[in-house]
Amino acid sequence: MKWPRVVLSSLISALATSEHCELIARRFAIIAGLTVLLFLVACRQDMQDQPKLIPQRGSALFTNHSGARQQVANTVARGQLRQDSYFYTGLVQNANGSLEERDLMPFPATMEVLRRGQERFNIYCSPCHSRVGNGLGAIVERGYKQAANYHDKARLAQPVSHYFYVMTHGFGAMPDYSSQLAPEDRWAIAAYIRVLQRSQAATTRDVPAGVTIRNLKDLAQEKQLPAGYAEPWALPTTTIQAAPNDASQGYPALAPASQASPSIKIPASKPASAATK
């Protein structure tokens, strides 16, 4: 049986219209469902009110009702073993339990280490101690208590780990710099302090062969620096003297040159090599 072309066209149009309407209805149902789901999710507070431990609050989950949990005993975080205690403390524990500073570096004082120490010293130490380490930095000139002079007898007699210990814990009017300086940078500064001390007491015999020796006054004149630049710096009149003069501690007096051994216990340290002295 053959359908007339007009009838076939009508049937096809009707089917197409039906499919189109069905597609529109399906899309509308999906959009409506997503809209309802969105409103339902937005009205719930599960993500905000879900059970969790809030810092400094109690908790019924644990028997002691404390939300803050203590570390498991004798555990060490990755990278915090600190097996070489001399590197981190600057102290060695003797057989009798006393703590002792040593005139040893925990690693070789290479030129790279000394350059790093000079850079860190000029940033953190020179404002008080000055760039030559005589204790007459810019802050001292403005009324702060005079910093230690690395070139007096008391400081020259200190072992190199003493400077590391002071930077770690502070000393007298000086605060600690443990948060500003990593341990390796504190050791680098301690090594550079030795360089400063040597530079102020060096003789012509310490100069390598073939190196020309020049007078500091001549260099200052070439750089058009003040006439007194190469002379000893006078103590500013604004410097605060908080302690009476004690000749055994250098002048002016600061805190005692050596503190009582701190009441801390440290593990046995790896022996420092004599080659790094």
The answer to whether residue 39 sits within a structural domain is no
Domain membership of residue 225 (yes or no) is no
pLDDT tens, residue order, the chain (277 aa)? 444 555 445 545 555 566 666 766 677 677 777 776 666 665 556 666 777 788 888 888 888 888 888 888 888 888 788 888 899 999 998 888 889 999 999 999 999 999 999 999 999 999 999 988 988 888 888 878 888 999 988 899 999 999 999 999 998 888 999 999 999 999 999 999 999 998 888 888 888 888 888 888 888 888 898 877 777 767 666 665 555 555 565 544 444 444 444 444 444 555 444 444 4
Judge whether 224 lies within some domain. no
The reply to whether 182 falls in a domain is yes
Residue linked to tokens 């993500």:
47
Is 143 among the domain residues?
Answer: yes
Counted domains in the chain: 1
- Report pLDDT for 74: 83
**In the prediction, which pLDDT does 239 show?**
62
In a domain, 123, yes or no: yes
Note the pTM of the prediction, 2 decimals.
Answer: 0.58
Element housing 129 (H / E):
helix 126-129
The SS3 assignment for 66 reads strand
Query: What is the domain-level CATH number for residue 111?
Result: 1.10.760.10
Hey, is 125 helix, strand or coil? helix
> Is 74 within the bounds of a domain?
no
By residue range, what is the domain housing residue 170?
83-204
Instruction: List the beta bridge partners of residue 100.
Output: 92
Q: Answer whether residue 184 is part of any domain.
A: yes
Distance CA 99, CA 79 (A): 25
